[in-house]
Structure formats: structure tokens, C-alpha cells
Amino acid sequence: MAGIYVHVPFCHAKCAYCDFYSKPVHAADAEKYVIALINELAARRNELSESVKTVYIGGGTPSSLPARSLLRLMEALPSDGITEYTIEVNPEDVSHKFVDMLKKHTPVNRISMGVQSLRDDELRYIGRRHSAKQAIDAANIIKGAGFSLSLDLIYGLPGQTAGSWQFSLDSLLALTPEHLSCYLLSYEPGTRLNAMRLSGKVTEAPDSLAADMYDILTSATARAGYRHYEISNFALPGHEAVHNSSYWNLTPYLGLGPGAHSFGGHDRSYNPSDLKGYIEASGIGFAIKETETDAERFNDFIITSLRTTNGIDLERCRVLFGEDRQRLVSATAGQFVKSGIMWLADGKTGICEKHWLRSDSIMVEFIEV
């Protein structure tokens, strides 16, 4: 099985915390981008030897594309045999008309919407262009049309308290989305929010508050019946994201559009974040191959495995990377298991849920430099 990821490099405006590649949307650029993307797909389709089962249109904001361009893009993508077909949207773009269009004219069966908070003061602070009410209305429209719904939330926002986080989370769970992605805010270089942090206008949430918010998150989602299957991801039974799981399972995927990354099973490549260059090249010959060393492949395997509830499969580790590395991984995990930070069962080992928030400092003990 394989997947296709499409990066739509347009947004209505830049959110204060975001470092994803995107530009303001203009209809003429959007149309040229779609033409280039169709060319890129035709030129690179053979890079995937396995059948495509998932399509994920992300970005950026795919719902910011003019409807005509969005439909043209989706007509070019495969639709037969796709089990999970996701598009990312923002609440301000969701209307009955937009959702009806997706339902009647596209193979989309799953919608992922960025909500981030259900408090208007927090939304304004991070530069979101929608209100809490708009997000709730949009979620209800999507659910009412029968799509599987995934919602994104952020915790650790400037000014956010444990109480306001609990409010956003409870309000969001009341919408019964099939899937949730919840991220601790990170201050990325080059973002407005990071500039505000550096100039002292905002301060990062202290570790103790982030830990309290994480506890609120894991308790509330567990009570509501969600399975915490990856550091940032929660799903009602049977609704784990297949496409995103491919990244963690090292399943091949083809990434199209400026800023997209691809994984061929052994080799990786990426398209530079350069819309103008992508359009000028008409999507052809734009991808740059990355040469991955054995140590980098091993590190990828460790990091992606430790992000999930499945953990590291020690036998797979031996088959892929040899007995010496398997022994080293077992020994390192053993130390963490003794102190109750990791678990070991049925030939697998992983980080216990209550320690996922500090997973970076644990992973670092396994990876090779």
C-alpha cells in the first residue's frame, strides 16, 4: 500500500505560530499551481510501485483554493481503490455549499479542520481568522454531511490557562469528532509568535502548566472513549488516521507540490518550498533526492516507532538493522523500563503514555549521531 500527499501552498493569511510553507492565495497562481501539480503527478506516478490507498490534501489551506481549481486538482488524482481520502480545511471556508460540492463531486471521505482553540481571545491572539462559533458551526455542517471529521487543537497558547484549555477540549469533544490531533505549541524560528517571545511580549508556558494540560488532555479523551495511538493523535475505535500512520510505519508515499516530501520505501526526496520555481518548472524535475545514511534510516525507524503506542518492534529492528543494534536498543530500553518510563511486552518496547510529553529527551538516548 502507498499514499499520495498534496501540499497546497496557499493560505488566506499567516497564523502567528505557523512555519508551514504557504503564500497568500491568488486565483491566477492557484490555477498555474494546479497545472504544475497535474504535470508532476503524471511525471512521478511510477515512483510508487504499490497501489495507492490513501490521498491527503494538506498545506497550507486547501479550502482556500478557488472551487474550480480544487476540483481540477482532485480530478487528476487517483480515486479508485482509495480507502481514506482527506482534505484539510479551515472553519472560515466551510459552508453547506462547499461541503455539498465535496460530497457530490469528489471522493473525499474525511475532513481535517484546524480549530486550535474554542476561545475567541486565544484565537485572535494567534491570528486565526475564525471565531469559536464559526468552528463549531463548521464541524456540525461537516458531521451533518456524513464525513469523518478530524479536529486540530493547540495547548500551551499565550494566555491559556488549565481552565481555558479544559473548556476548549470539552467543547470540542462535545462535537464528537472521530479523530483529534492536539499539539503543544512550539515557537518556531521565523514566526511572528517567536519574534514576540524573543522581544518579551509573550512567554512560553512553563513545563508544569504544559504537563497539567497534557494530563487534562489524556484524561478527557480517555473518558470520551478515544484511543491515544500516537503522541499527538487520538481516535475513536477504528478511526485512526491511515495516511498519517503510513508516515510512522514507513509506508511509501509520493509528495506533490512545493514543500512536499516523498518516501519511496528506501529513498527520500523533497520539493523545495518555492511556488514560483515550481510553476516555472511546471512541476517537472523539481524534486531533490536526499541520500539517507544507514544511521539516518535507523534514527527514522526509532523516532517514528517511539511516537506510537505500537513502539519499537525488536525483531523488525534486528531484520532491518542487525543484531548489534537490536541489542543496543534493548539495553537502552531496559534502563527506562526499570524506572517505569517505558514498557516492554511481546517483543516490543515503547514510551508509557504519561511520559510522552518528554519523549524527545528519551528518543535522544536511542538515536545515533
The residues that touch ligand SF4, with contacts defined as CB under 6 A, are: 11, 14-15, 18, 20, 22, 59-61, 90, 114
Pull the grid cell for residue 300: 527514522
The 3-class secondary structure across 244-258, one letter per residue, is HHHHHHCCCEEEECC
Least separation in angstroms between residue 299's CB and ligand SF4 is 27
Q: How many residues does the chain have?
A: 369
Closer CB to ligand SF4, 114 or 283, in the complex: 114
Q: How far is the CB of 28 from ligand SF4 (least distance, A)?
A: 20
- Which one, 260 or 317, has the nearer CB to ligand SF4? 260
Q: Name the region of 259 (left: φ>0; alpha: ψ -120 to 50; beta: rest).
A: left
Give the C-alpha distances (Å, rounded to integers) separating 179 from 72, 162, 213. 28, 22, 19
Please give the C-alpha separations between residue 185 and each of 152, 193, 247, 316, in angstroms, as whole numbers.
12, 10, 21, 33
Rounded-to-integer distance, Cα 109 and Cα 146, Å: 8
The residue (of 177 and 259) whose beta carbon lies closer to ligand SF4 is 259
Tell me whether residue 233 or residue 349 sits nearer to ligand SF4 (CB atom): 233
CA-to-CA separations, 358 to 162, 264, 352, in angstroms, rounded: 19, 30, 11
Q: Rank residues 193 and 202 by Cβ distance to ligand SF4 and give the closer one.
A: 193
Cβ proximity to ligand SF4: between 150 and 326 the closer is: 150
Q: Which residues contact 164 (CB under 8 A, 6 or more apart)?
A: 117, 119, 122
What's the Rg (C-alpha) of the chain? 21
- Measure the CA–CA gap between 301 and 312, rounded to whole angstroms: 8
- Give me the least distance between CB of 110 and ligand SF4, in Å please: 17
Report in angstroms how near the CB of residue 129 gets to ligand SF4 at its nearest.
8
The whole-angstrom separation of Cα 355 and Cα 282 is 46
Minimal distance, residue 12 CB to ligand SF4, in Å: 7
Write down the least CB distance from residue 90 to ligand SF4, Å.
5
C-beta closer to ligand SF4: residue 22 or 246: 22
Distance of closest approach, residue 272 Cβ to ligand SF4, in angstroms:
18
